[in-house]
Amino acid sequence: QVQLKESGGGLVQAGDSLRLSCVASGRTADTLGWFRQPPGKERERVATIAFSSLSAYYANSVKGRFTISRDNAKNTVYLQMNNLQPEDTAVYYCNANVYYSRNNRGDYWGQGTQVTVSS
pLDDT at 15: 98
Give the model's pLDDT for residue 54.
Answer: 81
pLDDT given at position 28: 85
Mean pLDDT over residues 6-13, rounded?
Answer: 96
Mean pLDDT confidence for 47-71 = 94
Query: How large is the average pLDDT for residues 83-103?
Result: 95
**Contact by Cβ (8 Å): 93, 24:** no
Residue 55 has pLDDT above 90, yes or no: no
Distance between CA 46 and CA 16 in Å, rounded? 18
- Give the C-alpha separation, 20 to 68, whole Å: 9
